[in-house]
Structure 1
Amino acid sequence: MKNKFGRLIYYEEYVHINGINQYLFHTGTKYDNPVMLFLHGGPGFAESTLSHVFQEKWEEIFTVVHWDQRGAGKTLTRNPDKCPAIDLMLEDLFVIVQYLKKKYNKEKIIVLGHSWGTVLGSMFIKKHPEEVAYYIGVGQVISMFENERLGYEKVRELALQANDMKSLRKLESLGDYPGNNHGINFKKKSEKLRKIQGKYNLAVNWNFSTIIGLIKSPIFKLSDIYALIKMDKVNEEIIEFWSKFDIRLESIEYKVPIYYILGKNDWQTPYVIAEEYFKEINAPHKKLYLIPNAGHFTMLDQSNLFFSSLLEINNEEKN
């Protein structure tokens, strides 16, 4: 594994957590920087292999730790028969936070969640606020069904404006969307919508440069492809939970500072839903950043503007 930028902190490890070895990837420039734990999306889509594309500047102000969750990435390839459940994943997360606090001699850890990671992160900070310095939600999930309903309406509106009959027929074939499906059927249906949304840059579009970025990662292995192929099968129970998730059913009271960084072109987890919810929450401190010309992979689409937001958050929290 080549340390391209000559980082002081730059290594992979497997840590034994709740019965299995789980993968962590550490990067940073100073041991006294605050520690940020990155919770990836999916469920089951480890973003550690893409981190080199977007987080070089982050490492100047944070020690960034990527965790391939149970049922994802390199943790999945080590444990192909270990299917995750939400309570177990929250227990895993608690143990990892304790491990990082001890390893880096920190009282608290920053939690950054992306997409599905915002579900896990939001639940964790409610359950264990004493462990968390502050929380950053990127592509924040509020309600999965509301996300899909609004995302469908937006792409249909654009297809009508463009007189795009081919896309309109595909949307029509989805029937009553999102309907009453849950779990894997919900996810399969949503993936059909993603392809249409991708055409209008409303959702993640797996273009050539993103795939090349994945393959060129210093930590990429062919087995990571296996993990991507297997992730839905292994995560069926988590996908069932994720498809029904609605954060609005929980209390709006938070005991840690809350920051949202949202892409203004994100209609996969529509920013307008997160924006409305954010107005309602109570927290010791809160701030929302809306990044123009950025979609669901906000940190990839506008990496400089995203870093500017992180820098401002870091300075606010230091003061």
Structure 2
Amino acid sequence: MRNKFSRLIYFEEYVQINGINQYLFHAGTKYDNPVMLFLHGGPGFAESIFSYIFQEKWEEIFTVVHWDQRGAGKTLTKNPNECPTINLMLKDLFEIIQYLKKKYNKQKIIIFGHSWGTILGSMFIKKHPEEVAYYIGVGQVISMFENERVGYEKVKELSLRANDKKSLKELEILGDYPGNNHGIGFKKKSEKLRAVQGKYNLAANGNLSAIISLIKSPIFKLSDITALIKMDKVNKELIEFWSKFDIRSESIEYKVPIYYVLGKNDWQTPYVIAQEYFKKINAPYKKLYLIPDAGHMTMIDQPNLFFDVLIDINYKQKQNKSITIM
């Protein structure tokens, strides 16, 4: 693995976490920078492999650690028969944070959640607020069924406006969407919606350019493709949990600062739902950022604007730790 930018911190490792070897990828420029743990999407979609596209500037102000979760990426490759549950994932996350606190001599770690990672991250900060400096949610999931309903209505509206008969037919085939399915059935149906949403840049697109980006990654191995193919099979129980998730059934009280960074063109986890929920939560400090012309992969779609947000969050944490915004 070539350290293109000669980073002081730049390495991969497997660490014994909760009974199995789990993959971490570290990158940064100073040991005294705050440590940010990136919780990827999915379940099962490791984003460490795409980090080279968007996080070069981040490493100037954070030490960024990517964790390929149980059932994802290089951790799945190492442990092909380990099937995650939400309880296992929360315990894994707790142990990884203990490891990072000791390794970098930190009292607390920043949690950065993307998509599925916002479910895991939001649950963790409720359970262990004492471990977390603050939380950043990108593509924040509030309710999976509500996400699908609102995302479906949006792409249907655009298809009608464009008189796009092919897309309208594909939407009609989905029937009463999202329906009453859970688990894998729900996920397979949602993937058909993503294909239509992708035509209108409303959702993340697994197109040729995404495949090229994957292969160009400095940490890419052929086994990463195999892990992507296997992810649904090993994550069945977690996908069942994910499909039923609704954060609104939990308390709106948070004990750590909360930042939401939302793409104004994200209709995979529709920003309007997260925006509405955010107004209701109570936290020591909270702020929401809306990034124009950015979709579900917000940090890739608008990397410069996204970095500006991270600079602002970093500054606010240094200056406004005692401020409460209701």
**Normalised-by-shorter TM-score class:** over 0.9
One-letter amino acid of the counterpart of residue 12, structure 1? E
Partner of 1:143: 143
Aligned partner of residue 133 in structure 2, secondary structure: strand
Q: CA RMSD in A?
A: 0.5
Partner of 1:305: 305
What are the superposed Cα offsets for residues 217-276 of structure 1, whole Å, 9 maximum, x if unpaired? 110000000000000000000000000000000000000000000000000000000000
Aligned partner of residue 140 in structure 1, secondary structure: coil
Deviation at 1:291, TM superposition (A): 0.3
Partner of 2:322: none
Deviation at 1:207, TM superposition (A): 3.0
Q: What is the alpha-carbon distance in structure 1 between the residues aligned to residue 209 and residue 54 of structure 2? A: 13
Partner of 2:41: 41
What are the superposed Cα offsets for residues 189-220 of structure 1, whole Å, 9 maximum, x if unpaired? 00000000000000001233322111111100
One-letter amino acid of the counterpart of residue 75, structure 1? T
Q: What is the alpha-carbon distance in structure 2 between the residues aligned to residue 44 and residue 205 of structure 1? A: 16
Q: What is the alpha-carbon distance in structure 2 between the residues aligned to residue 71 and residue 98 of structure 1? A: 21
1:137-176 residue pairs with structure 2 within 5 A? 137-176=137-176
Q: What is the alpha-carbon distance in structure 2 between the residues aligned to residue 213 and residue 44 of structure 1? A: 18
Aligned partner of residue 262 in structure 2, secondary structure: strand
Deviation at 1:19, TM superposition (A): 1.0
TM-score normalised according to structure 2 size: 0.97
Q: What is the alpha-carbon distance in structure 2 between the residues aligned to residue 230 and residue 17 of structure 1? A: 21
Deviation at 1:304, TM superposition (A): 0.3
Partner of 2:177: 177
What are the superposed Cα offsets for residues 29-88 of structure 1, whole Å, 9 maximum, x if unpaired? 000000000000000000000000000000000000000000000000000000000001
Aligned partner of residue 274 in structure 1, secondary structure: helix
Partner of 2:22: 22
Q: What is the alpha-carbon distance in structure 2 between the residues aligned to residue 148 and residue 316 of structure 1? A: 34
Partner of 1:95: 95
Partner of 2:266: 266
Aligned partner of residue 22 in structure 2, secondary structure: strand
1:84-233 residue pairs with structure 2 within 5 A? 84-233=84-233
Matched, 1:72 2:110: no
Partner of 1:243: 243
Partner of 1:287: 287
Q: How many residues align?
A: 319
TM-score normalised according to structure 1 size: 1.00
What are the superposed Cα offsets for residues 169-189 of structure 1, whole Å, 9 maximum, x if unpaired? 000000000000000000000
Deviation at 1:303, TM superposition (A): 0.3
Q: What is the alpha-carbon distance in structure 2 between the residues aligned to residue 296 and residue 27 of structure 1? A: 23
One-letter amino acid of the counterpart of residue 88, structure 2? L
Q: What is the alpha-carbon distance in structure 1 between the residues aligned to residue 308 and residue 43 of structure 2? A: 28
One-letter amino acid of the counterpart of residue 149, structure 1? R
Q: What is the alpha-carbon distance in structure 2 between the residues aligned to residue 73 and residue 262 of structure 1? A: 25
One-letter amino acid of the counterpart of residue 17, structure 1? I
Mark the runs of 5 or more structure 2 residues left unpaired by the alignment.
320-326
Q: What is the alpha-carbon distance in structure 2 between the residues aligned to residue 213 and residue 190 of structure 1? A: 24
Aligned partner of residue 84 in structure 2, secondary structure: coil
Q: What is the alpha-carbon distance in structure 2 between the residues aligned to residue 207 and residue 90 of structure 1? A: 32
Q: What is the alpha-carbon distance in structure 2 between the residues aligned to residue 56 and residue 146 of structure 1? A: 34
Q: What is the alpha-carbon distance in structure 2 between the residues aligned to residue 43 and residue 93 of structure 1? A: 14
Q: What is the alpha-carbon distance in structure 2 between the residues aligned to residue 147 and residue 126 of structure 1? A: 22
Q: What is the alpha-carbon distance in structure 2 between the residues aligned to residue 176 and residue 82 of structure 1? A: 34
